[in-house]
Amino acid sequence: MPSASAELTAVVSLESPRPAPGKPRTIVFDAGIYWSSSPDAAPLIAALRFYNDINYTFDDEGGFNFSGYQVVKMRKGAEVPSDGLTETDYDMVGDIIQLIPILGGAKSVNPKQGFTRAMLRVAGTVDSVDVSNFSFCVPATQWTSADSTGVLPVKACIPSESKWPDRKKALPATNSVVSFTGYLSSVDRDGGDNGTVKHFEVEVARHLDFLARGSYSPASTPSPNGLRKLGNGRRKLRFNFDDNATDAPSTPSPKALGKRPMREDSEESLYGDSIDSPSNAKQRRLDLSIGGKENTALPDVA
């Protein structure tokens, strides 16, 4: 199956941090992925890995973060160290590639404002096309730490509110290579809401590129009006953090990182004093309520 790429960006709660087997600097989390603005949509559950090269300290009860991660569908045989959940409890496995703490915790995230809509970016080969439903499927096969040959089955649908007046002309052909971005709109499962995921459905309303075609060259360049010049003739944006320092909200400053080599096999503690040792940690249940306990703690760096 051709290689592909799938990256999900969403609000996520990270819980039960524990080291990956044989890799003490890599942390495995049970994650609740808030993908829909609907209050009736249950969060997706994923096992996500994070290479802690800057010594973040994570709360055992979970913290809210804005994260980007490469994911595949959970399947039997994926390497997920258990912490109370089983293979059938997870929808995805993957690797965190971006992690931004959310100030104010869960109370600062309002699903009704659409802030919890998850965005999926996919590049891969089209497997099938359904003209009657204006949709096409891409099985995104990619490497992740837990599953080196995993697949994220994606069904992309072009909605009536898209930028294309004729949606049929926007559909790619089978076996063509495309790249697209859209909001995760639904999760199709076998056997109802608690069944195994068949595919993840994405609404592609604006961004769809055919990678086999020539690149686009703009006819004109944007006007530079209002931009400031640098000494070498280059221009920069008007906004400057130094000019707006008095208006910026106060946030904790991270401690300076020590200039010491980072090794995957280092035995140095990655968790700090806020959680138990993984060997003594009591079994914890994954609390996925977005209106649940507020967590205002930010990760610290050592």
Give the domain ranges of the chain.
5-210
In this model, does residue 205 exceed pLDDT 90? yes
Q: Residue 246 — φ and ψ, nearest 5°? A: -75, -20
Assign 110 a pLDDT band (cuts: 50, 70, 90): low
Contact 124, 141 (CB under 8 A): yes
CA dist 69 and 71 (Å) reads 6
| Tokens read off for 82 | 């258990």
Assign 256 a pLDDT band (cuts: 50, 70, 90): very low
Q: What is the mean pLDDT of the chain?
A: 75
Mean pLDDT throughout 50-76? 85
In this model, does residue 72 exceed pLDDT 50? yes
Residue 149, strand partner residues: none
In this model, does residue 164 exceed pLDDT 70? yes
User: Does the model's pTM come out above 0.85?
Assistant: no
Mean pLDDT throughout 72-99? 88
Q: Measured between alpha carbons, how far is residue 126 from residues 27, 171, 217 in Å?
A: 34, 10, 25
Assign 156 a pLDDT band (cuts: 50, 70, 90): very high
The letter for the amino acid at 6 is: A
pLDDT at 58: 80
Q: pLDDT digits over 184-200, tens only?
A: 998 998 876 677 889 99
